[in-house]
Each structure stands twice: as C-alpha cells, then as structure tokens.
Structure 1
C-alpha cells in the first residue's frame, strides 16, 4: 500500500457526477466531444491534436495541461491505484481502488463518458484530514496525482484513524491564505492589463481616487506626462494639487519617465506616478530625494483597489468581480 499511487478527482464544479461515481462505482472525466479515446496512439501529442480538433476555441496556453488529463486517465492511471474523491454534497472524502481499465460509456451521465471502475473502500469526513491534505485535494484540476499528503490518504485505507495536527500548528494554513491572496492580486493585474489599455486605465484611476475621497478628472489628451488631476476641494483651486501619470503597461518605469512627471510640478504641487508594472532602482532613488513625489507600482496599486473596493460603483465592480471571503490566518505563538 505504501507504494500505491493515489489520484484526486472531482465530479464537476457542483458535484454533478457524484451519483455516477458513488452509485455506479466508477470515476469519470468529461471531454465528451473527444469521443472514445481508446483508438488514439498512446502519446500526448495524439491527445493534444484530438483536443484541438474537438475544442477549437481552447486557449493555447492551457492546451497541454487540459489535454494531458485524458492522457493520464488512460495511460498513467493503473488498476490497483488509489483514488480520492472529495464530495461537495456530503462533505466526505471517498477513497477507493481502481479495479478496471479505461472504458467509454455514455449511459447514466452522458457528459462524463471517459470512465474507470472503482471499488470504494473508505468514506471519511473532511474534518479528519489535515488542512494541508484538504488543500492538496482541492486542486483546480479535474484529475491530478496526490503527492505531498499521499501517505495521509494511504494510512486511512490501511485502517488508521486520521489524527491531523491542530489547526493552529498546521503550517499550510498560512500558505493557503497567502496563495489565495496572491491569486487574487494576479487576477486584478491581468484584468486591468488586458481590459484597460491607455486611457481606460486613466479613467479607472480617476474613479479610485474619487473613492478615496479626492475630486479627480482627466487632463486634456495632449497634456504630456500628466493624465489626471486630483484635489480635495470641489473647485480644484486649493492646494495641494496632485498631478498623476498612469502607465498601463506591465514593464518597468524608468527614472526618465518619473522625472518627466516631476518636471510638470509647480511650487506646492505633488506628483503621483501609478504603473501596473514596477519601477527601476534609479526611479526609486529619484523618489527618495523628493518629498512631493510618490511612486505606486502594480502591487501597491492592487492594495489600494482592495482597500477601497466596497466604494466602487457597479461598472467598476463588474470589471473586477470580487467576493469577500474569510480565510484562515496563522497566529503568532505569542
């Protein structure tokens, strides 16, 4: 048992294949348009070509990963391997042993025709597993190999009673929260970079500044180095006046870019440079010597968005659809 490979599998986003899994003693993956895969050559390239033909709109970047799942289901998964299915409906992890080869069958649940027979061995509540094991089995992929916490699942099959470490001692708690936050930040930057090139990002910055309590407006289109004017008073005549330059690219802003903005500042005015990318070391050195200049890179920009997101109007929330969730936070021993 210690050598048995263990796989994780999901039954769709809402558990729509659960009845197929548990009542017909099998596991399955979708990809119905691929048809019967048993006639394909046992190479990843053959599966990739079939996938490209069946799903011509698939994104090229994820083609190898997605098409690789049916390949692994047929040629890497073996009879005798273990499989763990985390149910969204009964909140249990069902662990079984694969007892049959791949077969193509559309009865019962036609959207999951790629199947393998399984003998279910254990049905264990999720709370019996460590946070790390739950995190690994929560992979976004529909089928995947469990590696890091495989021994924890194998031990359950061998009859051991899971005794996970207390949550406060589980190092994966902080890792889960950090990865969720990192993924959210990446999503925001990618969305802004793809959807708001040039002037649209400047308008977005205007809205963000308004949500922060400033009055803000776009400058004339022929105004070099200054894209937005912000101020606290309604008329925009009382100091301080803030001149903002917005860079929508994800590259590195140079000290030349920053000094161009600074050259537009009059006495008593402040400069704010916002970029989705980063700033060169020379730019940061330039900033340190100027008390009326502030540089905000992509990471800090996302922090401002998250901090004022609740004040966004429906249009801007629609651009960045986010939902408030609570995630575990590891506490210091003190």
Structure 2
C-alpha cells in the first residue's frame, strides 16, 4: 500500500445488490448523459453537459454532481482506496482502485461508468465507530474520506495505527457542497442510518445469543403473537415458536431462527430451518446482517419462508417500540424525532 493513499467514498443504490462486489467495480449513473468518458476533462465541460441533459436540475446541484463525475473519471488514480458502504447488506467494502474507468452501456442498474476495483475486505458496519459511519454517510455520490481515513485503512492494513499526513486542500471543496434541499434530505437519511447503527450495535454488544432469542420472542408478542423460546440444548435449529392462538394448537405455527450476527447468512443455514417445517408451519429467519443471493432466491421460491435482515429488524423494533417492556427500552434508549420527509433528490 502507498504511504499515504487517497481514500474515496462511493455511494450506489441498494438495488445493485452484490453485483459491484462480484464484478469488481463501483459505478456512477447520470445515464441521460451517455458516455461520460467522452466529455472533456474539465469541470466546466461536465457542468455544461449536465445542464443540457438534465434541464430541470437545480442550479445549486449542478456543480455538486459535475464535481462527482469529474472526480470519478479524472482524479481517481491507480492505488487509491475506495470505501463503498453497501445499502443492500449493511457491509462496508474496502478496495483498491485499478485506475481504469470505462463506459458500460448495458449495466443493468444504469450505473454506466465503472471504475475497476480489487476488493480487499468486507466488514460489518458495527466494526466501525459511529463517527466514521457518519463520514461515509455523505449524501454525495463521490467524496474524499479525511477525518477517519486511518480507521478505514487500518481494516485492510493492521500496521496502520497512527494518523496519516493530511491530504492537500481541495480547491473545489466549497463548490462540491450540497445545496440546502439536498443537505436537508441528507440529514434526514443520516438520522435514520444512525438509529439503525445504534440499535444493531446495542443488540450485538449488550445481549448474548440466547438473550437475543428472548428479545425476539418479546418483540413477536408486542406484534400480537404468543411466543416462547425453545430449550437451548434441543432447539434443532428453531429458537422461537410463535402462534396466534393462546395454546399454540392452531396453525399457522411460526418457527423462528435467530442469529445475532452481522455477517451474511447463507443458504445452508436457511435450509436447516426449512427442514424443521411440517404441515401448517412457516419459517422466519432473523439476523442483524444480511443474506447471500442464493438464500434470497430461496426465499422467493418458498411461500412459507420469510427472511428478516438487519434493516427490516430495526424497522420492526421502531414500529413496536412503545410496546416494549421497560427493560428493553432501557437497553435501547430512543426518543421520537421528526425529520423532513422530502423526496430523494
């Protein structure tokens, strides 16, 4: 690794799934502009092309987006480091840019401009400080990571333990700042992300695996089910059994597998839960992380199976927070706030 590599953050939408990881790239969109590699390597040229392709775009957003495109195509160098926080699985992916950009007209997600990446590591979000997660929560598509550069580099090179020299100031930094509406939306999204990170970190650090099963059973009861935790020694892959009737004699019966982990759950573990199901029984798999693509495909083909990932689990907690017992509200001290519900810009 270079002595002091530039570290970039890149955002892509949740709909891309794990394609950037499998394909070894990160990408940017603006599909109406066509092949961005054909635009002159000048910020003003990018601004002009953007204004033509998107005539309704706010004037304040044009230099921001043009700056992201210009950086992606002309400031990234081979050996620079990329941090890509994946929305689909709550993983922070860190890699090394190969320094080659290309136009990919048939990209299924309309991220038509790719930078090729050698992925070096994939880490759950709970392994990073909240302050570092806030920095990569930038609403910009492309941005430099400065304050927590060492923390991210240290994940791929444990020998990095001290602060690195700061990089030169970016003369366009003020121009690349988001406009007021975009900044407001960004603040709202950041508040939501911070809450999810907080809830998952607390459950990971404050509960054992069996205590997490107790919490899941209690959450199901808050949702109107009757639930019980199975004995530790003989659960057979089923941690909680839930049902709608008081005695648990009437179908449907829900068998729940709980995993207090943030690493991806594979198809083998999901199949184990499916193997326990009998007539009139449904399977619910709950984790604090995500699921692999084969596991997700399995869910789509099995009507009696439901997979709940970390983001969905947090939503369940928030929707039923007022019904939680005092001990769990003490574990997860939250208060209701109101944030602007503006359209994503």
TM-score calculated relative to the size of structure 2:
0.48
Larger Rg: 1
